[in-house]
């Protein structure tokens, strides 16, 4: 059973998406107490949808049409689900807590599927049949999406997230905070760091700490807040198997080193002593050495200056 549906956002709020949904919903009504939100991807699309009568169709069916902007997909404004809500959405992300409430479940689907499902009040096949389709996926999924409150992941100044792949920016800094806390306000970012993932991180993290993580670190939205906050907290470096390229660029800009060493991540065990020599390009875990390309002098300068802007100011670039 569903309690809410969303069609739109920047990814599936194109005119053709709205046209598909309108054809399905024309002359029909949503179930009683069901919430449906329509978010055109741009003002131009919104205006064209008005000209074609699509907005009237949605309103007549009982849906709400919002302005073309970030909203429920990010966990802001109208449409944040209540505890226990099941939401079907055309957005492209359903990380835990992505829509502003970690106690809600978000299912991603096409505009047609969302429209049919909204009218039925439950997830419905737009083909009008009962099917048992299976789509095997060979990509292993991360088993850990949050750290239990009684699980201490900081030992000897190292945060052990080695088994966690795809640690995303929503877990590092909730999207619904991005409009109240600016990326230029590190002191306001720090209290919320990793709150959606490890509630102890922001209280226990200390200057010089090291984070050990799995693959695709920093995936998700391209917000700068996590990199800003981690650099401000004094995190010495993140050692991971791989990193999202936008997060990597943000980290350099903020003075947060990211070291890609899958073999070091695999070798690490909780309690191991970890040290980093950036100039030599060396990570030491107990008595074992792992090499990476020594950092260029200019990049080292950016890290020492605590960010690209400070480096430019210091060198009058």
pLDDT digits (tens, 9 = 90+) for 254-288: 999 999 999 999 999 999 999 999 989 999 999 99
Question: pLDDT above 70 covers what percent of the chain?
Answer: 96
| d(C-alpha 101, C-alpha 159), whole Å | 26
Long-range contacts of 86-89 (CB under 8 A, 24+ apart): 86/1, 86/2, 86/3, 86/4, 87/2, 87/3, 87/4, 87/5, 87/6, 88/2, 88/4, 88/5, 88/6, 88/113, 88/114, 88/117, 88/118, 88/123, 89/5, 89/6, 89/7, 89/9, 89/114
* β partners of residue 60: none
Q: Which residues of the chain have pLDDT under 50?
A: none
| d(C-alpha 166, C-alpha 140), whole Å | 11
Supply the pLDDT for residue 14: 92
pLDDT in tens, 173-222: 987 788 789 888 999 999 999 988 999 999 999 999 999 999 999 998 77
Residue 99: name the closest of 114, 118, 77 by CA.
77
The string over 245-272, giving b where at least 16 C-beta atoms fall within 10 Å of a residue's C-beta and e elsewhere, is ebbbbbbbbbbbbbbbbeebbebbeeeb
Supply the pLDDT for residue 175: 77
Supply the pLDDT for residue 289: 97
Which backbone phi and psi does 151 adopt, to 5 degrees? -105, 110
**11: exposed, middle or buried (Cβ count in 10 Å: 0-12, 13-18, 19+):** middle
For 303, the 3-state DSSP assignment is helix
Q: Which residues contact 241 (CB under 8 A, 6 or more apart)?
A: 165, 213, 214, 215, 217, 260, 261, 262, 265
Q: Would strands 158-161 and 210-213 be described as parallel, antiparallel, or unpaired?
A: parallel
Q: Which domains does the chain have, with CATH numbers?
A: 4-120 (3.30.499.10), 154-315 (3.20.19.10)
Mean residue pLDDT of the chain comes to: 90
pTM (whole model) above 0.85: no
């Amino acid at each position: 059973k569903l309690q809410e549906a969303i069609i739109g956002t920047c990814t599936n709020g194109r005119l053709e998406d709205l046209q598909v949904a309108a054809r399905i919903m024309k002359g029909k009504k949503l179930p009683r107490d069901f919430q449906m939100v329509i978010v055109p991807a741009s003002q131009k699309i919104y205006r064209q949808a008005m000209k074609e009568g699509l907005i009237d169709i949605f309103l007549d069916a009982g849906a709400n049409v919002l302005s073309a902007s970030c909203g429920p997909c990010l966990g802001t404004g109208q449409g944040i689900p209540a505890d226990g809500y099941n939401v079907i959405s055309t957005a492209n992300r359903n990380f835990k807590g992505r829509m502003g409430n970690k106690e809600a479940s978000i299912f991603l689907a096409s505009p047609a599927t969302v429209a049919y499902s909204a009218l039925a009040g439950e997830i419905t096949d737009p083909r009008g049949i009962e099917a048992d389709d299976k789509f095997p996926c060979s990509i292993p999924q991360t088993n850990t999406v949050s750290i239990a409150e009684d699980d201490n992941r900081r030992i000897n100044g190292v945060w052990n997230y080695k088994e966690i792949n795809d640690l995303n920016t929503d877990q590092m800094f909730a999207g619904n905070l991005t409009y109240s806390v600016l990326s230029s306000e590190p002191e306001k970012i720090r209290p919320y760091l990793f709150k959606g993932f490890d509630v102890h991180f922001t209280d226990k993290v200390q200057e010089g700490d090291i984070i050990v993580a799995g693959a695709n670190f920093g995936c998700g939205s391209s917000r700068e807040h996590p990199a800003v906050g981690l650099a401000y907290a004094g995190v010495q470096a993140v050692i991971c198997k791989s990193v999202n390229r936008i997060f990597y660029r943000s980290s350099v800009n903020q003075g947060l080193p990211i070291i890609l060493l899958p073999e070091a991540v695999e070798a690490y065990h909780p309690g191991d002593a970890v040290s980093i020599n950036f100039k030599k390009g060396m990570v030491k875990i107990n008595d074992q050495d792992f090499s990476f390309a020594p950092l260029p002098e200019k990049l080292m300068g950016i890290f020492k200056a605590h960010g690209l802007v400070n480096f430019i100011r210091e060198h009058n670039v």
